A and B are shown apart, each in its own frame.
Chain A
Amino acid sequence: MSITLDQVTKHYAGAPVVNDVSLDIGDGEFFVLLGPSGSGKSTLLRAIAGLSGVDHGRIALHGRDVTHVAARKRGVGLVFQNYALFRHMTVAENIEFALRVRHMRAQARRQRRQELLRLVALEGLDQRLPAQLSGGQQQRVAVARALAHKPEVLLLDEPFGALDAKIREELRRTIRQVQRELGITTVLVTHDQEEAFAMADRIGVMNLGRLLEMGAPHDLYSRPATRFVATFLGAANLILARCTPDGVQMGANTVAAAERPPGVEEREVVAVVRPEEVEVAASRDALSSAYLARGVVNEVVFTGALESLRVRLEDGAQAPLLAQANGDAGASLLVTRTRHEQRGFEIHPGQSVAIGVRRVHVLPTPLSSFTACAASAALADALSRQPLLAELAERMKTRIAMRAEPQLGVPDAACAADSPFVGTTAIASQTDCAQRAEWLLRRGAKDLLVLPEQAAVPQRVLIHWMGEAARSATLAASASALRHLSAEAVYVGIFPEQSASAHPQHGMRELLDARSEAQLAHGLEMRTELRFGDVAQQLARRLAEAPAQMLIVGVAELTRFAERFRGLLDGGQWPVLIVYRGSP
């Protein structure tokens, strides 16, 4: 491996900017770190270069641990967004700088310089000053300069940011060509997905300091695992659907999924439909793909090669639910059509069309949507506006439904609505909260979010599960939730008091197992903590230690639930997500 990052973490003013990033980049690989501004990608690159230190974790280059090695001894080449050429030196002096530092002879220096200038197609410009070159030429010089000392790793920090489209394209091709020719391991940081697709062998998508997913461009695009990646890499329609044995049910119609998602149970899922996988036709019979619904074309925009449409789905119980639409009327399905499709069926705004989908991808994320549940419609409405819940729904691009249960918490009372509980059910934290939670869990709620009135977005998420049956679901829910929070994950292992002396290594073993499972199966990096005593008591104590913490707790059985969780839930000042998966 050329570059190995192991749990690299960097804090700035208390908040993690790079959060537990682990990554292996192979020899000669072109790796692109993609993310919106502020996602921590540049900080990570600077950490690899050694220009900024890390608070935690390890960085290795070609197997050599360089975590504490000074930047000048790491032997990497770095190209900056604004070129950072030495303005008082000529092109030749700029390129030879690294060679001069290494006391190379003038003759050899000149030879190497000629070689590099040829590589970046700038022969003959040796004696120019940077100010006399165009932006594209300057960046070529910067690339040549970064390669002069034959670094093992080339790092590019948004190198095309300041260039116009045409030159960008050209330079992109040059860099890719140079990289292939030299076979040098390269990491490029960018916020431009098109650039990432064009250059990468592999893309790593970052958001909120976390490395969410990585993979080959094609795989990431067609099979994203998270909402963020699905919507950041190209456009995507997110649809709340039900996963059934026949396929993916969206509204009244069922469509076969591209891959069968894991798990056999019927549940609510988030389905991704790319705009180019949507088909529109005059009638249902004219569709060549699976029928989804009817809609009205709102907007037609001509963008050259493609035409992009916004189609509003017709209302009704049968219509599929768009995840982004929070009840507002503005939400519509995004469709792109090629010239060929346009010629076959011309479309004008206001036209009514039949919509079909060619390909559906189901996200493996367990947290699909939220339902604010309270004793009355008014209370449910108030709960749906709770800041943390609203923020979460906004970040997860999902909707908050409302549900009134007048008998909520009353023992032996039945549900008012006969529809099943879907997605994550949210309730307010209050005095008899534990009892209400048990009531809901016994009536079919699987994921339950308990929200205090004034909960801020957490900076630390504590994870624990009681009973092995809930382990995998808890980790999946934690991984899903943490992708949308800039928080650190801490697994709290709790063991009975007496085991502290009896089997200390047993506890450690369990912590490490939990950590590696989280990492392997769910891509979740978490720290671990070991505690002894009563579970609920220890968790409550840990939560009270610092502000802005959240708890995700897995539960496998409901015996004495209200009693056990009273201290943790009733009037608690922290949000708690309960993941209930009973033993089969």
Chain B
Amino acid sequence: MAAALPAALAGDATRPGQHTRLHSLVRWLFIAVSLTFLAAVLLAPLVTVFVTALERGLQAYLHSFANPDTAAAVRLTLTTALVVVPINTMFGLAAAWAIAKFEFRGKSILITLIDLPLAISPVISGMIFVLLFGLHGWFGVWLREHDLSIIFALPGIMLATMFVTFPYVARELIPLMQQLGNDEEEAAITLGAGGWMTFFRVTLPKIRWGLLYGVVLCNARAMGEFGAVSVVSGHIRGLTNTMPLHIEILYNEYNFVGAFAVASLLTLLAALTLVVKTLVERTGYRRR
């Protein structure tokens, strides 16, 4: 057969996978463009954050964290993430389970609703809660009568953060659970396992990497959220200022070192999240 092929075909240089000069030129061009772009819009600002934060030396940098308002902001951010992330994890699991395993009316509506927070502006997400629970909102009067505060207080911040971050876990799990199917669960049931046992021993281990990935993303957004939280927090120093809000205040007061010091901490937290994410991905792929 090979001998019968026309000789011209054998020397054909335009076949895919062939290294021509044009080909390698295009390749390097693409790599160069992406790297330059990344350096300009990502790396430079990040470097600036740390450079500015350390402008007056390490002493001043560390000193800015001693400020009680700053400490309060860090604490508030961590508390919010600590509450919001587990709740959203639970919700995401339930929603993904419902969507992947059952057929029901309104399934497509549920899927759309889960995506909603990704589609609308965070500021509007915050406004929704002001409209609901604010002084002139639907429940405002009732809340005041019962001496409950949601807006300009911790519950409001948590609600807004929850709203903005709830798609992350569900979004990550739905395709994964659909792809993995039901067989292992069914096998567990025929072997005598009950519902909880099947969930903890079979389903959860099966989806753990996807779940962890979703949780990491959810956490990153929960700590970094600005828009929605800004609307509902009221910017009360030491009380309702989260880290992103506190950075803005410090900056507006021309306290650059303070602002960038907190910003660097937030950046470090984000970087830590990304490192965890990368580790998770690597382990996950190896195990799969």
Which A residues are within 8 Å of any B CB, using their own CB?
49-51, 70-78, 80, 82, 84-89, 97-98, 101-102, 131, 142, 145-146, 148-149
| A89 neighbours in B (Cβ, 8 Å) | 205
B202 shortest CB reach to chain A, Å? 6
**In the complex the two chains form, is A51's CB within 8 Å of B183's CB?**
no
- Determine the distance from Cα of A77 to Cα of B187 in the docked complex, in whole angstroms: 9
- Given A87-B184, A88-B206, CB of A76 within 8 Å of CB of B190: yes
**Residue ID in chain A nearest B195 by CB atoms:** A72
| B194 neighbours in A (Cβ, 8 Å) | 72
**In the complex the two chains form, is B184's CB within 8 Å of A148's CB?**
no
**In the complex the two chains form, is A102's CB within 8 Å of B190's CB?**
no
Quick check: is B15 within 8 A (CB to CB) of the other chain? no
- Given A80-B183, A101-B197, CB of A87 within 8 Å of CB of B190: no
**In the complex the two chains form, is A51's CB within 8 Å of B189's CB?**
yes
A180 shortest CB reach to chain B, Å? 23
Cross-chain pairs A/B with CB under 8 angstroms, 21 sampled: A71-B186, A71-B189, A72-B189, A72-B194, A73-B192, A76-B190, A80-B187, A85-B187, A86-B187, A86-B205, A86-B206, A87-B184, A87-B206, A97-B191, A98-B191, A101-B191, A101-B197, A142-B187, A145-B191, A146-B190, A146-B191
**In the complex the two chains form, is A84's CB within 8 Å of B192's CB?**
no
**In the complex the two chains form, is B192's CB within 8 Å of A88's CB?**
no
Using an 8 Å CB-CB cutoff, how does the interface string of B191-216 with A read, 1 for contact, 0 for none? 11110010001100110000000000
- Given A84-B184, A86-B184, A101-B197, CB of A78 within 8 Å of CB of B190: yes
**Residue ID in chain B nearest A82 by CB atoms:** B183
**Residue ID in chain A nearest B190 by CB atoms:** A78
For B192, B193, B202, the residue with the greatest tally of chain A CB atoms inside 10 Å of its CB is B192
- Determine the distance from Cα of A148 to Cα of B187 in the docked complex, in whole angstroms: 13
Task: Kindly identify which residue among A77, A84, A145 contacts B183, using a CB–CB cutoff of 8 Å.
Answer: A84
| A49 neighbours in B (Cβ, 8 Å) | 190
Quick check: is B146 within 8 A (CB to CB) of the other chain? no
**In the complex the two chains form, is A101's CB within 8 Å of B183's CB?**
no
- Determine the distance from Cα of A234 to Cα of B190 in the docked complex, in whole angstroms: 34
**In the complex the two chains form, is A51's CB within 8 Å of B184's CB?**
no
B186 shortest CB reach to chain A, Å? 5
Quick check: is B265 within 8 A (CB to CB) of the other chain? no
Quick check: is B71 within 8 A (CB to CB) of the other chain? no
**In the complex the two chains form, is A88's CB within 8 Å of B287's CB?**
yes
B239 shortest CB reach to chain A, Å? 45
**In the complex the two chains form, is B184's CB within 8 Å of A72's CB?**
no
Task: Kindly identify which residue among B189, B192, B197, B202 contacts A149, using a CB–CB cutoff of 8 Å.
Answer: B192
| B183 neighbours in A (Cβ, 8 Å) | 80, 82, 84
- Determine the distance from Cα of A101 to Cα of B190 in the docked complex, in whole angstroms: 11
- Determine the distance from Cα of A87 to Cα of B205 in the docked complex, in whole angstroms: 9
B179 shortest CB reach to chain A, Å? 12
Quick check: is B51 within 8 A (CB to CB) of the other chain? no
**Residue ID in chain A nearest B205 by CB atoms:** A88
| B288 neighbours in A (Cβ, 8 Å) | 131
| B128 neighbours in A (Cβ, 8 Å) | none
What 17 new A-B contacts, CB under 8 Å, besides A85-B187, A86-B201, A146-B190? Answer: A51-B190, A70-B189, A72-B189, A72-B192, A75-B192, A76-B190, A78-B187, A84-B184, A84-B186, A84-B187, A86-B184, A86-B187, A88-B206, A97-B188, A142-B187, A145-B187, A149-B192
**Residue ID in chain B nearest A131 by CB atoms:** B288
- Determine the distance from Cα of A87 to Cα of B179 in the docked complex, in whole angstroms: 14
Which B residues are within 8 Å of any A CB, using their own CB?
183-184, 186-194, 197, 201-202, 205-206, 287-288
A158 shortest CB reach to chain B, Å? 13
**Residue ID in chain B nearest A142 by CB atoms:** B187
- Determine the distance from Cα of A73 to Cα of B288 in the docked complex, in whole angstroms: 32
- Given A80-B183, A101-B197, CB of A86 within 8 Å of CB of B188: yes
Task: Kindly identify which residue among B190, B202, B287 contacts A86, using a CB–CB cutoff of 8 Å.
Answer: B202
| A131 neighbours in B (Cβ, 8 Å) | 288
Task: Kindly identify which residue among B191, B197, B205, B206 contacts A148, using a CB–CB cutoff of 8 Å.
Answer: B191
**In the complex the two chains form, is B184's CB within 8 Å of A71's CB?**
no
| B187 neighbours in A (Cβ, 8 Å) | 78, 80, 84-86, 142, 145
A143 shortest CB reach to chain B, Å? 12
- Determine the distance from Cα of A82 to Cα of B197 in the docked complex, in whole angstroms: 22
| B184 neighbours in A (Cβ, 8 Å) | 84-87
B15 shortest CB reach to chain A, Å? 32
| B186 neighbours in A (Cβ, 8 Å) | 51, 71, 78, 80, 84
| B202 neighbours in A (Cβ, 8 Å) | 86
- Determine the distance from Cα of A246 to Cα of B287 in the docked complex, in whole angstroms: 73
- Determine the distance from Cα of A308 to Cα of B186 in the docked complex, in whole angstroms: 44
| A88 neighbours in B (Cβ, 8 Å) | 205-206, 287
- Given A84-B187, A86-B202, A87-B184, CB of A101 within 8 Å of CB of B193: yes
- Determine the distance from Cα of A76 to Cα of B194 in the docked complex, in whole angstroms: 15
A227 shortest CB reach to chain B, Å? 36
**In the complex the two chains form, is B189's CB within 8 Å of A102's CB?**
no
| A70 neighbours in B (Cβ, 8 Å) | 189
**In the complex the two chains form, is B192's CB within 8 Å of A102's CB?**
yes
| A75 neighbours in B (Cβ, 8 Å) | 192
B288 shortest CB reach to chain A, Å? 8
B195 shortest CB reach to chain A, Å? 9
**Residue ID in chain B nearest A101 by CB atoms:** B192
- Determine the distance from Cα of A342 to Cα of B124 in the docked complex, in whole angstroms: 84
| A87 neighbours in B (Cβ, 8 Å) | 184, 206
A135 shortest CB reach to chain B, Å? 15
- Determine the distance from Cα of A51 to Cα of B205 in the docked complex, in whole angstroms: 22
**Residue ID in chain A nearest B180 by CB atoms:** A87
| B193 neighbours in A (Cβ, 8 Å) | 72, 97, 101
B183 shortest CB reach to chain A, Å? 4
- Determine the distance from Cα of A341 to Cα of B72 in the docked complex, in whole angstroms: 96
| A86 neighbours in B (Cβ, 8 Å) | 184, 187-188, 201-202, 205-206
B206 shortest CB reach to chain A, Å? 6
| A51 neighbours in B (Cβ, 8 Å) | 186, 189-190
| A73 neighbours in B (Cβ, 8 Å) | 192
- Determine the distance from Cα of A70 to Cα of B192 in the docked complex, in whole angstroms: 10
B49 shortest CB reach to chain A, Å? 40
| B189 neighbours in A (Cβ, 8 Å) | 51, 70-72
B126 shortest CB reach to chain A, Å? 41
**In the complex the two chains form, is B190's CB within 8 Å of A77's CB?**
yes
Task: Kindly identify which residue among B190, B201, B287 contacts A72, using a CB–CB cutoff of 8 Å.
Answer: B190
- Determine the distance from Cα of A50 to Cα of B188 in the docked complex, in whole angstroms: 13
A116 shortest CB reach to chain B, Å? 13
B194 shortest CB reach to chain A, Å? 6
**Residue ID in chain B nearest A46 by CB atoms:** B186
**Residue ID in chain A nearest B208 by CB atoms:** A88
**Residue ID in chain B nearest A148 by CB atoms:** B191
| A145 neighbours in B (Cβ, 8 Å) | 187, 191
For A70, A72, A85, the residue with the greatest tally of chain B CB atoms inside 10 Å of its CB is A72
- Determine the distance from Cα of A284 to Cα of B95 in the docked complex, in whole angstroms: 75
| A146 neighbours in B (Cβ, 8 Å) | 190-191
A488 shortest CB reach to chain B, Å? 24
- Given A86-B184, A101-B197, CB of A149 within 8 Å of CB of B191: yes
**In the complex the two chains form, is B190's CB within 8 Å of A71's CB?**
yes
B57 shortest CB reach to chain A, Å? 50
- Determine the distance from Cα of A43 to Cα of B192 in the docked complex, in whole angstroms: 20
B283 shortest CB reach to chain A, Å? 12
- Determine the distance from Cα of A74 to Cα of B186 in the docked complex, in whole angstroms: 13
For the complex of A and B, list the 8 residue pairs with the smallest distance between their C-beta atoms, beginning with the closest. A84-B183, A98-B191, A88-B205, A84-B187, A78-B190, A101-B192, A71-B189, A72-B192
A296 shortest CB reach to chain B, Å? 36
- Determine the distance from Cα of A543 to Cα of B236 in the docked complex, in whole angstroms: 77
**In the complex the two chains form, is A98's CB within 8 Å of B205's CB?**
no
- Determine the distance from Cα of A446 to Cα of B191 in the docked complex, in whole angstroms: 56
- Determine the distance from Cα of A51 to Cα of B187 in the docked complex, in whole angstroms: 10
- Determine the distance from Cα of A84 to Cα of B191 in the docked complex, in whole angstroms: 12
